[in-house]
Copies of this chain bind each other. A is one copy, B any other.
Amino acid sequence: MSHGDKQPKRSREERDFLAAYDASAFPHPSVAVDVALITVEDAELRVLLIQRDEHPDLGRWSLPGGFIQLDEALDAAAARVLARDAGVTDVWLEQLYTFGEPDRDPRTRVITVAHHALVPAATLRRGTEERSDRRLARIVVPWKGDRGEPVRAIDEDDVELPLAFDHAAILGTVVQRLRGKLDYAALGFELLPKRFTLRELQEVHEAVLGRRLNKDSFRRRILASGLVTATGQKEADVVHRPAELFRFVRRRR
C-alpha cells in the first residue's frame, strides 16, 4: 500500500473476505478527470479549450478530460489527458476540486476530479496553432477577489466560447485557487520561461490576481524571498533600458 504508515498483515479471514468481495453489487458512478491548462500571455490569463465533436454539448468548448482507468491514479489520468490533448508533459499539475452534482452531465452520473496545470505560453503555442477545434482562450473574470464564481472564455476575435457542462464553474474555481496560492507558493515561475525579468514576473502575478501590484514592493518582496537569483544577463530587443534576467531557484520551505 502506498499510503499510510504500516503495511497491514492481512489475516486468512481477511484474505477470504477480500477474495469474495463483489464490487458490482451496487451501481457505481463514472469518474473522470478534467484539466485546466493555464498560461499567461499578453498579461492575460488563458486556458486551452477544445471544441466538443460529440454529444452531449456538441460544439461547445470544454477542458481536456477523460474517464479514469481502473488501475490509474488520478494525477496519472490527468497527465495522460494533458499529453493526449495538448501534447504537454512535465508541467506543474495539481488536483483542484471534485465536481459531482448529480445532473452535471446529462449522460449519467459523472463525477469529475478537476485538475489545473500551469505552463509557459511559449511551450503551449508550439502545437496548438493549427487546429481549429483548439483555442487558447482568454479567461474573463467577472468578479473580484476570491469568490470563485463562474468565468467566461473569449477567443482572439473577442468571440465568447460557450463552455460545456459545468466547465465555467470549474474555471472559476481554478482562478480562485490560483489567486489563493500565488501569495505563498512559487506559482509564477511555472508560467514563465527559464529566464525572466521582474517585470514579466509581476505581469504574471497581476494577470492571475486580476489587479495591479505596487512595483516597488513587489520587487522588494520577490528579491527578499530568495526565490530568484540574478543571471547577469539582460533582456534584448526592447525599446528601453533592458532589465536584468532572473531565474527561479529552489529554496525556502
Contacts and interface: CB of A to CB of B under 8 A. Distances in A.
Interface of A: 1-6, 8, 10, 13-14, 17-18, 21, 23, 26-31, 55-60, 67-68, 70-74, 95, 97-104, 106-109, 111, 113, 145, 150, 159-163, 165-169, 180, 184, 253
Contact of A28 (B13, B30, B74, B97): B30
10 contacts: A5-B168, A8-B57, A17-B55, A21-B107, A21-B108, A23-B107, A23-B108, A31-B31, A70-B109, A73-B102
A3 B160 contact: yes
Contact of A18 (B106, B162, B180): B106
A165 B101 contact: no
Contacts of A29: 28, 31, 68, 70
B4 A56 contact: no
Nearest to A17: B55
B18 A101 contact: no
Given A23-B107, A107-B23, A74 B98 contact: yes
A150 B108 contact: no
A1 B59 contact: yes
Contacts of A14: 55-56, 58
B4 A160 contact: yes
A251 to B, nearest CB: 15
Contact of A100 (B113, B167, B180): B113
Contact of A10 (B106, B166, B168): B106
B3 A104 contact: yes
A3 B108 contact: no
A1 B106 CA distance: 9
Given A17-B56, A55-B13, A3 B70 contact: no
Contacts of A253: 145
A23 B17 contact: no
Contacts of A103: 1-2
Nearest to A105: B1
